[in-house]
Amino acid sequence: MTYADVYNGWKNDPEAFWMEAAEAVDWIKKPSRALFAEDAPIYEWFKDGVVNACYNAVDRHVENGRGEQAAIIYDSPVTDTKETISFTDLQSRVSLLAGGLVAKGVVAGDRVIIYMSMTPDALVAMLACSRIGAVHSVVFGGFAANELATRIEDATPKAIIASSCGIEPGRIVEYKPLLDDAIELSAHKPEFCVVKQREQARASMIEGRDYDWDAFQEGVSAADCVPLAGDHPAYILYTSGTTGQPKGVVRPTAGHIVALNWTMKNVYGVNPGEVFWAASDVGWVVGHSYICFGPLFHGNTTVVFEGKPVGTPDAGTFWRVMEEYKVTSFFTAPTAFRAIKRVDSKGEFLKKYDISSVRALFLAGERADPDTIVWAQDHMKIPVIDHWWQTELGYPAIANPFGIELQDVKLGSPALPMPGYEMAILDDDGKPLPAGELGAIVAKLPLPPGTFNTLWNAEDRFRKSYLDAFPGYYETGDAGYIDDDGYLYIMARTDDVINVAGHRLSTGGMEEVLASHPDVAECAVIGVSDQLKGQLPMGFVCLNADADRDAADVCKECVKLVREKIGPVAAFKLVTVVDRLPKTRSGKILRGTMVSIADAKPYKMPATIDDPAILDEIKVALGTLGYPAKT
């Protein structure tokens, strides 16, 4: 079948397409149909089916003869550990942890927050929740206590499962004190916590609230998979929006299984039994979909890698892992390749390893710059596939369907829509724009199975953020254009979200933190281009008239504050004090113009600017931060 056959097959009969994809799933009760549109524009998929995600990820493979196959390969250069876990072993670990949760009263629908480092235990915790229908919400370890507290308040979990620490190159990040602070800060308190003690930093426990991971499971009965309705929320994953309050993306169970399973073969081109590796973190959607669930649903071996592309111990670490485990398909963010290229531009490390098992490299999470793609193509000598998706969508919407039929690669474009997606470019009034014209990127409703269907506890915000602006369409928040061949080009965000090393962050959230500094009168945070991380946040702060402070001291305090309140992952290190911010006459800060100046891009003097002279002051301030950067 060609890509055109598959795409048109879906377009002509979406219902039949998704019902056929659903055949690959083991149902407790098959759904009577795929789409439930009664509450449009809120859509449900496979709602009357009964299913269990953990059963599809683990148990069915044991029953179907894959018990001895590796389910998870853990490779941790930062702790010098390697471990292989078979599907049988995974089944027993997951059902025991699930048994512990059940013994403590966790039932289907209860929320469980998971705050863990990149170890197989994080996957065990996610799967244990899925097994009993508990709605997990994984929080990335690089977020600070305050961010964790926000998520605890919103998700109101019955339990929290945490690692005692995470390991970053050169330092151990103790998670448990962050967890304790977060619980202290939150109005909602979990009934109990389960802590996996890692030997690099053992956590102190609070009697009566905290349980040791191993002791917690002793003597409990293993829990079975619980039958769940197709629309049961599998998980909540918080992602950055325009404000500091993150959006809790809700993923219904049945669509999640059907769609991820479909992508493994059709997008990524892997067969059951092969080794799939996504070098990301379980705290992100890539980790949910392609470290944990997707490969396991499909009977693949997944690699859990605890390290960085460089420095753990060197720029050859990715190639070593590919060779050692015969990885067939590899997925990461372009920033990881930029990091490798920066220290090993000639690819000397690659020459030491045999990566012939790898059939394709997939890049997503941020714009894949042509230089990086070409470098990867030249050195790896395999197709390099840029593909586009979002936390909200859960899996690739725009891709080059490697598993169906590889299409021409056009540098700078993640290529073509996958079945389920009909994309359009609209102007501000919602009018479709012709090929080549820049506008808001939208997808025609309904979104396909496996995408989100609401925001946790915030249906109004869901409608406002995604559905209201362009009735009949999902608003992606990205701007771009479609060319004459139907290829999509992603150019920018239309909101205050930036992308730092493939991590989605809110500049609005950072502004809220800076505004809380007692000497700051007003502030602006913008995303400026960075050769390694794609974008970096940059802050401009105006001090209160009566603040008799040294500007450098305030800047240091601002950096510390963002690290404390949001976390190191924000990579907020560039900040300067200015007298005034450039604004329109109606008082809107001209962030876009500031970005253009910082990135040395041409810009038009905004007609509505209040005082053009302020831009000269901004240029001087940027100069002190080394911007525009020399390339």
Q: Which residues bind ligand COA (CB under 6 A)?
A: 141-142, 166, 168, 173, 280-281, 284, 286, 308-309, 332-333, 335-336, 339, 365, 501-503, 568-569, 571
As a residue count, the chain comes to: 631
The verdict on 338 binding ligand AMP (CB under 6 A) reads no
What residue 360 binds from ligand AMP, ligand COA, none (CB within 5 to 8 A, per partner kind)? Answer: none
Angle between helices 591-598 and 613-624 (to 10 degrees): 50
**Rounded CA gap, 295 and 322, in Å?**
16
The verdict on 335 binding ligand AMP (CB under 6 A) reads no
Single residue of 86, 91, 130, 239 touching ligand AMP by CB under 6 A:
239
Of the candidate spans 22-30, 145-153, 261-269, 476-484, the one that interacts with ligand AMP by CB under 6 A turns out to be 476-484
- In whole angstroms, the minimum distance from the beta carbon of 387 to ligand AMP comes to 6
The verdict on 478 binding ligand AMP (CB under 6 A) reads yes
Q: In the chain, what is the greatest distance between 2 CA atoms, to the nearest angstrom? A: 73
Sheet architecture: strand order including 439-444: 423-426, 439-444, 473-482, 488-493
Closest to ligand COA by CB, 285 vs 577, is 285
Single residue of 161, 285, 488, 525 touching ligand AMP by CB under 6 A:
285
- In whole angstroms, the minimum distance from the beta carbon of 630 to ligand COA comes to 21
- In whole angstroms, the minimum distance from the beta carbon of 567 to ligand AMP comes to 15
Rule CB under 6 A: which of 377-396 touch ligand AMP? 386-388, 390-391
- In whole angstroms, the minimum distance from the beta carbon of 313 to ligand COA comes to 14
- In whole angstroms, the minimum distance from the beta carbon of 91 to ligand AMP comes to 30
Take residue 557 and report the two structure tokens written for it.
């305090």
In terms of Cβ atoms closer than 10 Å to its own Cβ (0-12, 13-18, 19+), residue 352 is: exposed
The verdict on 448 binding ligand AMP (CB under 6 A) reads no
The verdict on 288 binding ligand AMP (CB under 6 A) reads no
What residue 386 binds from ligand COA, ligand AMP, none (CB within 5 to 8 A, per partner kind)? Answer: ligand AMP
Q: How many residues bind ligand AMP (CB under 6 A)?
A: 20
The verdict on 413 binding ligand AMP (CB under 6 A) reads no
What residue 539 binds from ligand AMP, ligand COA, none (CB within 5 to 8 A, per partner kind)? Answer: none
Matching residue, tokens 């359009």? 424
Number of helices (H), then strands (E), in the chain: 20, 32
The residues that bridge with 424 in the sheet, in sequence order, are 442
Per-position x/- string for 350-379, each x denoting binding to ligand AMP as judged by CB under 6 A, each - no binding: --------------xxxxx-----------
The answer for residues whose C-beta is within 8 angstroms of residue 457's C-beta and 6 or more apart is: 154, 248
- In whole angstroms, the minimum distance from the beta carbon of 16 to ligand COA comes to 33
The verdict on 475 binding ligand AMP (CB under 6 A) reads no
CA-nearest of 263, 235, 264, 260 to 250 is 235
What residue 336 binds from ligand AMP, ligand COA, none (CB within 5 to 8 A, per partner kind)? Answer: ligand COA
**Rounded CA gap, 292 and 426, in Å?**
35
Closest to ligand COA by CB, 96 vs 360, is 360
Take residue 153 and report the two structure tokens written for it.
């308040």
What distances in angstroms separate CA 114 from CA 126, 237, 239, 564, one per listed residue? 8, 11, 15, 20
The verdict on 280 binding ligand AMP (CB under 6 A) reads no
- In whole angstroms, the minimum distance from the beta carbon of 571 to ligand COA comes to 5
What distances in angstroms separate CA 369 from CA 284, 366, 374, 376, 532, one per listed residue? 21, 9, 9, 11, 11
Contact (Cβ atoms closer than 8 angstroms) between residue 466 and residue 474? yes
Amino acid present at 106: V
The 3-state secondary structure of 14-41 reads HHHHHHHHHHHCCCCECCCCCEECCCCC
The answer for residues whose C-beta is within 8 angstroms of residue 26's C-beta and 6 or more apart is: 51, 55, 56, 60
- In whole angstroms, the minimum distance from the beta carbon of 338 to ligand COA comes to 7
What residue 141 binds from ligand COA, ligand AMP, none (CB within 5 to 8 A, per partner kind)? Answer: ligand COA
- In whole angstroms, the minimum distance from the beta carbon of 590 to ligand COA comes to 28
Other Cβ atoms within 10 Å of 585 Cβ, number = 11
Residues that bind ligand AMP (CB under 6 A): 239, 285, 364-368, 386-388, 390-391, 414, 476-478, 490, 493, 499, 504
